[in-house]
A and B are shown apart, each in its own frame.
Chain A
Amino acid sequence: MKALVAVKRVVDANVKVRVKPDNSGVDLTNVKMSINPFCEIAVEEAVRLKEKGTVSEIVVVSIGPKEAQEQIRSSMALGADRGILVEADDSQLGALEVAKILKGVVDAEQPQLILLGKQAIDDDSNQVGQMLGALLGAGQGTFASAVKVEGDKVQVTREIDGGLQTVELALPAIITTDLRLNEPRYAALPNIMKARKKPLDTKSPADYGVNPATKLKTVKVEAPAERKAGVQVKSVDELVEKLKNEAKVI
């Protein structure tokens, strides 16, 4: 079966972002960009399913600026077969618009498994997979920590607040990955070279009949309130005294 994996180019997880002085957003000039960590886990899962013989072809799609090609190429270096870049201005797009574009891609490609990260670490929305499920009328296995394909069904173990829940979905189905699903591999140099030769199509939101303008307007972006500097205590006695008499929390 065919698997489709959606990946997003985001600021690297280890970067401490700064809010722009004019409060229009966060400053991303000269900041290291990477593939969203949850998306990388989705690629890895698809590659593992291919290695098991469950999946025959992996198509990776990214919606974003031209530079998002880099993230598609790194997914190919991990084992994806071909890529689709839907070139669009990220700042215009909301989760609903992304889901609508992805529906267009799914309609064209007809994959049986659609893998996404559970959330992007920039907007922290955690919406696209669920919205895509709704638009396709497909089942959703969100926050997946285990995936088992059996015939025309997939069993997904999900991380929920109290522990774990397992659901069974009819294929085609959407799976959004949690951190514990797998440990993504590193791309080996020969695979990075091979990835350069794999096919990559470029599309636009209009190709899928989607107007990319979201109806959510970001009015301003501010830095969070700073915590006042704390103090180093030298002993357990001092800590207990502070907690009892100064902070009054115990």
Chain B
Amino acid sequence: MSILVIAEHDNKALNGATLNVVAAAQKIGGDITVLVAGSGAQAVADQAAKVAGVSKVLLADDAAYANQLAENVAKLVASIGSGYSHILAASTTTGKNILPRAAALLDVSMITDIIAVDSANTFKRPIYAGNAIATVQSDESIVVATVRGTAFDPVAAEGGSAAVEALASAGDAGISKFVSEEIVKSERPELTAARIVVSGGRGVGSGENYHTVLDPLADKLGAAQGASRAAVDAGFVPNDMQVGQTGKIVAPELYIAVGISGAIQHLAGMKESKVIVAINKDEEAPINAVADYWLVGDLNTVVPELVSKI
């Protein structure tokens, strides 16, 4: 078995999600090679070489890979992919953008969002917004899959000593161009990796209220902040904070849902959390059915009181 893991990075540092993918690769078993496709990404390759369990790092350094354009990275992955039994990437927007394209270039089917490894070709994955779990067997020559990070404990970022090899660029496909990027800056922990997440929904009322009520709670707990789709659509917070089937999937130790009713699509993004707390004025809210502790009350008084008591 030889497994190719596509590293996720910003040309400066390796994204933590890659460590979860390496963990999934270890469950499959076999030699693990990490591909770093980037521009000026030597530091990322050096970091990847130190990751526990990695036996080789391939560095393809070319301006064509600077912004992870799927047209270019998938072309590179497909050019070397047939030498591997498995190709894995994180189930992030980057992984989901690139990997299906690479799979089609290799003429193989792909499995999205695996949450468990049953054997080298059999995996579990959620379907219907997490309301069913399918066990899927791949009869393809190469197993191509994205890995749901929260389902696998990350491997250690230090301790490995893989060799870094340069890989020739597959060139620019010439059909797409990066124009611009707008990254939301935050001092808080990253949503998908946070130990505690505080999320607000439509019930918080406004963007201003979201911050006056929830910021102190998140500050006090050192938590990341999330939101339901309703809160994002109403313009309270930017869309990269959305937790759900169509947003981010989180599984923190503690998830505090404030003013969130608990639609199916939201639950799909957070119901694997260890402990769920719901604060809602509606006694009948569906969120209460998945919550470990739920408190019925006005969030504008309950949350400040909570902040003062923890």
Contact of B101 among A134, A145, A166, A243 (CB under 8 A): A134
In Å, the complex CA distance between A180 and B229 comes to 10
Identify the stretch in A71-79, A93-101, A188-196 within 8 Å (CB) of chain B at 4 or more residues. Answer: A93-101
In Å, the complex CA distance between A236 and B303 comes to 9
How many residues of B are counted as interface, with CB atoms below 8 angstroms from the partner's CB atoms? 87
In Å, the complex CA distance between A169 and B196 comes to 39
Contact of B184 among A14, A163, A178, A224 (CB under 8 A): A163
A169 near B176 with CB under 8 A, answer yes
B186 closest partner in A (C-beta): A162
Q: Is B305's beta carbon under 8 Å from chain A?
A: yes
A159 near B221 with CB under 8 A, answer no
Q: Is B265's beta carbon under 8 Å from chain A?
A: yes
Q: Is B94's beta carbon under 8 Å from chain A?
A: yes
B132 near A96 with CB under 8 A, answer no
Identify the stretch in B27-35, B152-160, B284-292 within 8 Å (CB) of chain A at 4 or more residues. Answer: B284-292
Residues of A within 8 A of B26 (CB): none
Q: With A134-B74, A139-B176, A247-B254 in contact, do A223 and B133 touch (Cβ < 8 Å)?
A: yes
Q: Per-position contact with A for B32-72: 1 when CB-CB < 8 Å, else 0?
A: 00000000000000000000000000000000000101110
B180 near A230 with CB under 8 A, answer no
Q: With A127-B110, A233-B294, A250-B254 in contact, do A221 and B179 touch (Cβ < 8 Å)?
A: no
Q: With A159-B239, A219-B137, A249-B275 in contact, do A133 and B293 touch (Cβ < 8 Å)?
A: no
Min CB gap A165→B, angstroms:
5
Most buried by B among A16, A125, A145, A237: A125
Q: With A142-B97, A217-B136, A223-B132 in contact, do A124 and B113 touch (Cβ < 8 Å)?
A: yes
B296 near A232 with CB under 8 A, answer yes
A170 near B175 with CB under 8 A, answer yes
Interface set, chain A 195-226, CB cutoff 8 A to B: 214-224
Q: Per-position contact with A for B266-297: 1 when CB-CB < 8 Å, else 0?
A: 00000100111100000000001011111110
B139 near A215 with CB under 8 A, answer yes
Min CB gap B44→A, angstroms:
16
Interface set, chain B 197-245, CB cutoff 8 A to A: 221, 229, 232-233, 238-240, 245
Q: Is A52's beta carbon under 8 Å from chain B?
A: no
Q: Is B165's beta carbon under 8 Å from chain A?
A: no
Q: Is A1's beta carbon under 8 Å from chain B?
A: no
In Å, the complex CA distance between A128 and B104 comes to 9
Q: Is A34's beta carbon under 8 Å from chain B?
A: no
Contact of B96 among A99, A126, A236, A243 (CB under 8 A): A126
Interface set, chain B 89-104, CB cutoff 8 A to A: 92-94, 96-104
Interface set, chain B 79-125, CB cutoff 8 A to A: 92-94, 96-105, 107-113, 122
Most buried by A among B128, B182, B184, B245: B128
Q: Is A151's beta carbon under 8 Å from chain B?
A: no
In Å, the complex CA distance between A247 and B255 comes to 12
Residues of B within 8 A of A164 (CB): 181-182
Contact of B134 among A134, A214, A220 (CB under 8 A): A220
In Å, the complex CA distance between A145 and B182 comes to 13
Q: Per-position contact with B for A144-173: 1 when CB-CB < 8 Å, else 0?
A: 010000000001001111111111111001
- Extra 6 A-B pairs, beta carbons < 8 Å, given A160-B181, A215-B138: A95-B100, A96-B104, A126-B112, A130-B98, A179-B246, A231-B293
Can you give 15 contacting A-B residue pairs, CB < 8 Å? Answer: A94-B109, A95-B100, A124-B126, A125-B112, A139-B173, A140-B176, A161-B192, A161-B240, A167-B178, A169-B175, A215-B109, A217-B139, A224-B131, A235-B295, A236-B295
Contact surface of B with A, Cβ cutoff 8 Å: 67, 69-71, 74, 92-94, 96-105, 107-113, 122, 126-140, 173-184, 192, 196, 221, 229, 232-233, 238-240, 245-246, 248, 253-254, 264-265, 271, 274-277, 288, 290-296, 302, 305-306, 309-310
